[in-house]
A and B are shown apart, each in its own frame.
Chain A
């Protein structure tokens, strides 16, 4: 997924350096753009929905990606956007009033690097954060196991919500048309609902399977806050069980994870039910997928068709984002 960090799509070999160049370029362009602002026709141009790629004559051979021609920023907050830009600029748009034009120039070191970058940009252009968050939410809801925490996505959505909250406040103060304010408010509430629901469904899963999660690799799927929550929660649970029941049982039966001291492994830990079946849709053709361990039954997933499959057989595809749960 594209959520390892704000700048991860830049060539993985030299991330730090690329990042610097990138931000520098961006800052320079931003400054130029702010100056040029007045000269540019502020009419939104919806025709240029795809990124235009042009080879400059500069000997460094830069790849210029004009994002929709209309990636707009409030000049007051553009610094924040520079930080968030690689992933957010495409979805968070202007804030009424102050508008600045941006053209983002990407220094491209190697062909391979630029390929990754452009691919990522194209897929990003097609999907806004809110769409990504919606997909993450659906997957999380339908998935019996806890998925990897979408740290960067949550962070971005949070900042967008924060900014929108400020904007709505400003609108209210400056006496905007109540209709417009209420529309912005609704949009904000929809985004907030998605984010809250996403976080809550994860908490629910953590509460249900906390011991199992803390013993397995799933622990790394949690955010730091969730890890804190999980360890505190299991500690409280253990203390409570000890006090209420376990300490009154004969010795040998006092563990909260083993039925008795004779059990060789923890046999009282609830686990997510991975043998369950899920409804899913594939985004692209994945070829034949084995349906059981012996691999004698296979299924060909056709893009956008709906299937009911055993979760275990498509788990890796869900985790890599190739298959969406419905």
Chain B
């Protein structure tokens, strides 16, 4: 039945998602002097004490680990902004608030390596966790509305990690509907269709379609 699709559930591992996120830029305030770096991924620097410089997260974390800089948390990572986002997130059950594409990974990176650079870290941390929970709840309720008529799903502002986590469910659901929607499947309704969740089964079936 629908179980014969791709056995690989996740195409990106969490580590790979973090790898992607580490190329995002962040501001650091170095406490040492260093000539500009000319790397494959770009040019950064020069670094002067107390003069902010913009570098990718991997470089910021590497310098931070050696005590060579402080990281300036991104603007959205403040209690006010996050509180506002959380409220908006709760108020609009159908929409996702705009957040950086890699916000989950970036906040994890900073919580792991730059705790002392984030003001109100406990508050910020719990706010981000709340935002994540609200958003995942929305994705889950969104999944229930997928029906046989769904040919495309638009997920504005969904972040990278969220995409990666919901991907197997969304893809399998859509695939299953697509498959059961095909003419030969409808002529011989399968036994499993009785077990579908009531919420997913609403709405009249669309006309038979040429395969």
Contacts and interface: CB of A to CB of B under 8 A. Distances in A.
Given A91-B40, A95-B38, A276-B5, A326 B163 contact: yes
Interface residues of A, number: 51
Nearest to B167: A279
Contact of A277 (B37, B38, B58, B175): B175
Given A275-B178, A294-B209, A183 B62 contact: yes
Interface in B24-49: 34-43
A242 B28 CA distance: 62
A134 B23 contact: yes
A95 B35 CA distance: 12
B51 to A, nearest CB: 14
Contact of A96 (B38, B40, B155, B156): B38
Q: Is the interface of A mostly helix, strand, loop or mixed?
A: mixed
Interface residues of B, number: 43
B153 A184 contact: no
Contacts of B157: 306
Contact of B160 (A91, A184, A297, A326): A326
A307 B155 contact: yes
Contacts of B23: 134
A306 B68 CA distance: 38
Given A141-B12, A275-B179, A310 B151 contact: yes
A283 interface: no
Interface string B41-83: 1110000000000000011001000101000000000000000
Contacts of B156: 305-306
Given A193-B19, A292-B209, A273 B6 contact: yes
Interface of A: 44, 72, 91-96, 128-130, 134, 138, 141-142, 144, 160-161, 164, 177, 179-180, 182-184, 186-188, 190-191, 193, 197, 273, 275-279, 291-294, 297, 299, 305-310, 326
7 contacts: A91-B42, A134-B23, A183-B59, A187-B41, A193-B19, A275-B175, A310-B178
